[in-house]
Amino acid sequence: MTGYGAAFDWARGHVDAGRLPTAVLGVATADGVVALDAFGATAGRPARVDDPYWLFSITKVLTGLTAARAVERGFLTTETPLADAVPAFGAGRDADDVVRLGHLVSHTAGIPEPTLDPAEGLRAALLAPGRDFAAGAASRYSTVAFDGIVELVRRTAGWEWDADIATWSADLGATGFTLDPCVDPHTVVDAERLGLDMTGFASHRNPGAGMIGTAADLLALGSALLRIGRGATGSVVQPATLAMMRRALTGDIPRLDPYPAAAGQDWGFTFNLRTRAPGLVDRDVFGHAGWAGTEFWVHPTAGVAFVLLTNQAERPGIDVDQLDNAVVSAV
């Protein structure tokens, strides 16, 4: 880990200072994992490099790849309307306000967002009448939109989203992605205090937030994406498809909380593109973060990907841009 010492010092330091309960940090190149370590403990359970964690919104990347696989096989396009798969969708919208796959994957659909554990269930929340804004008029982060994405995939390609993830991830050697909390992921230490019932949350099998996985799983994916970015035949998606996923879909439309314009990011095809992030050394980066502090980022020009798994939603004093810069600067 010699070259990445500053990055691992960052993770260890925040655990030692009590700002993070645990941290599993890993770095990979196109050739595989080059550094991996774990720090801290959850209620006396030491963190180990192969421990599972709740990934939360990193799930969106996995679901996005499955949807992109359906696109490249000709089952649908970014212009396919959600109503083609969910005819009941759209109550309270004007006839010309058509929500399409491209809106769902880029957080521009204007669907009112429920809590992470909606009492009525994901589908009922997706179908709730009304809108925040007309499709494509603004960008506001949406997890419930991913229920629409997987229904479009299921109706057109015939795939169950989680089964397809299991198929392509196994080809990478990433066999730990699961929706089943029986694998005993590290407890999110402040979930109960913040009002998230993890048992109820898990029951939704949420395609925008529900996956559990290990650092090795995500690093295997990061390595594969780096190889595809160099023109290699894709074991997950083809090079042209990955390029499509990395194209910004949000442009200069208004950005609404919790990702205002000052955050310096665009949305691609489910990827967070930190193309204008003021704190980053290298802005050629795509990936995603998750509610409890999980991070998955790929820097194709630098040729490096990194993963941070942790388990605390409120993290005062943590600036992940510092970690990102330490990883990239070590290349």
Give tens-digit pLDDT for 149-186.
999 999 999 999 999 999 999 999 999 999 999 999 99
Beta bridge partner(s), residue 306: 27, 297
Pick out the chain residues at pLDDT < 70.
1-2, 229, 231, 233-234
Q: Is the pTM of this model over 0.95?
A: yes
Q: Which residues pair with residue 35 across a beta bridge?
A: 27
Q: Which residue has the tokens 């169950």?
A: 160
Question: What are the domain boundaries of the chain?
Answer: 53-277
| Interatomic CA distance for residues 258 and 285, integer angstroms | 20
Residue 297 sits at φ, ψ, to 5 deg, of -135, 140
**The residue to which tokens 């969910």 are assigned:** 86
At residue 67, the 3 state secondary structure works out as: helix
The pLDDT of residue 234 is 66
Spatial separation of the C-alpha atoms in residues 269 and 103, rounded to whole Å: 9
Task: Please state whether beta strands 212-213 and 266-267 pair in parallel, antiparallel, or not at all (unpaired).
Answer: unpaired
How far is it, in rounded angstroms, from Cα 234 to Cα 41? 37
C-alpha distances in Å from residue 175, one per residue of 55, 73, 163: 15, 24, 12
Distances (CA, A) of 140 to 105, 115, 303: 11, 14, 30
Domain 53-277: state its class: alpha beta
Distance from C-alpha of 311 to C-alpha of 291, rounded to nearest angstrom: 9
| pLDDT for position 128 | 94
State the pLDDT at residue 233: 67
pLDDT tens-digit profile of 174-184? 999 999 999 99
pLDDT of residue 230: 77
Contact call for residues 312 and 293 (beta carbons, < 8 A): yes
What pLDDT shows up at residue 235?
82
